[in-house]
Copies of this chain bind each other. A is one copy, B any other.
Amino acid sequence: MAIDVPVRPLLVPGATIGILGSGQLGRMLAMAAARLGVKCHIYAPEPGPAFDVAADFTLASYEDEAALAAFADKVAVVTYEFENVPARAAEVLAAHCPVLPDWNALATSQDRLTEKQFINSLGIATAPFAQVDDAGSLARAVAQIGRPAILKTRRFGYDGKGQTAIRDGSDLAVQFRSLGGVPCILEGLVPFLREISVIAARAADGSFAAFDVCENEHEHHILAATHVPAKVSADTAAQAIHIVHRILDGLKYIGVIAVEMFIVEEQQADGSKRERVIVNEIAPRVHNSGHWTIDGATTSQFEQHIRAICGWPLGSTHRHGRIEMRNLIGEDTNLWRDLMGESGACVHLYGKHEARAGRKMGHVTRILPEE
């Protein structure tokens, strides 16, 4: 495969990388970087758990162009723990040092419409969708997609925020206004059997590596648990990984990506059933459903991302056993005493002060014998 990225020198151990965001993903990225002798400088508008494990930090807003420029001048490459990096911030940073994954990946995944159009352009299936710019276009979209459907803001949605269900009898104008009157898309409901994700990486030389397919359980729109391997056929798993490979090549991506997908069951002409993979959404970053790789794989998703953005080879994605990862959300964190006493439970706590409802406080990974 041709090298399709700008030639730049490999980083060497001892280099400093910059990370936008001070949350648990930034924290786990910083710890993975440290394993490889790479220093981290965290940039965030508020202090967070990543500050405690980084060599340096900048506390400033994503609109503070002078602070962004000073930060970018001190690091060899900038990466991020979330996809909603403001366009202008990415532009300012990129004028000073490489930002990886690049703006193309950020822009594509920041907007649900652009993202789905890009995926479809590769010949990969998504849920049916329609653009919604106002109450009038919502009515046309509902006529096209049918009810029930989900109205989602095109930008800034996560963990079920920025979305509302359109059911029979819903008042479309009220629903549209409830999301702030911003540009939206309407998505058809997919009657899925399973929710899966693939965590994969693409290196600067175009090489690709995927972890085994994850099966995810959500509660109240928040990831509750991940099981690996997913209970899908070998063909389906290969199909899911192939889809992610095409997405990464399509974006000329460098780094770790997470692609969330649905498995639907389709009736064939001969009456038999087969599994089909539909892409739900892309997260151009390390992902909660890949946290099990810290304990359960030879290389963690965090180390894999650091390797990719440093221009180094990808590591082995070999899995140590059957995996169950469970998030500790809000008050779940009070289980820490019991979990510490459970033989074989790998406990991770993110060092957050306040256990607010819905807040991801930590996770626990169990490595079980293969079935």
Given the interface pairs A340-B313, A344-B316, A351-B14, the reply to whether A53 lies near B37 with Cβ below 8 Å is no
Chain B residues near A353 (CB, 8 Å)? 14
* Docked complex Cα distance between A343 and B316 (Å): 5
The residue that A350 contacts in the complex, of B37, B295, B312, with Cβ under 8 A, is B37
Residue contact B347 to A36, C-beta cutoff 8 Å: yes
Chain B residues near A315 (CB, 8 Å)? 340, 343
The residue that A367 contacts in the complex, of B298, B336, B340, B350, with Cβ under 8 A, is B298
Q: Does A210 contact B (CB under 8 A)?
A: no
CB-CB nearest in chain B for A50: B34
A: contact size bracket: 35 or more
The residue that A351 contacts in the complex, of B13, B318, B349, with Cβ under 8 A, is B13
Number of copies: 2
Q: Does A362 contact B (CB under 8 A)?
A: yes
* Docked complex Cα distance between A333 and B367 (Å): 32
Q: Does A274 contact B (CB under 8 A)?
A: no
A333 CB to closest chain B CB (Å) equals 8
The residue that A320 contacts in the complex, of B55, B312, B320, with Cβ under 8 A, is B320
Interface string of A310-325 (1 = CB under 8 A from B): 0011011010100000
* Docked complex Cα distance between A336 and B312 (Å): 10
Chain B residues near A313 (CB, 8 Å)? 340-341
Please name 8 further chain A to chain B contacts, defined as beta carbons within 8 Å, in addition to the given A35-B348, A298-B346, sorted by A numbering. A13-B336, A13-B351, A14-B353, A34-B351, A37-B336, A39-B351, A295-B298, A307-B340
Pick 15 A–B contacts, CB within 8 A, sort by A: A31-B53, A34-B52, A34-B351, A35-B347, A37-B336, A37-B350, A37-B351, A53-B54, A295-B298, A298-B344, A312-B337, A312-B340, A312-B341, A313-B340, A316-B343
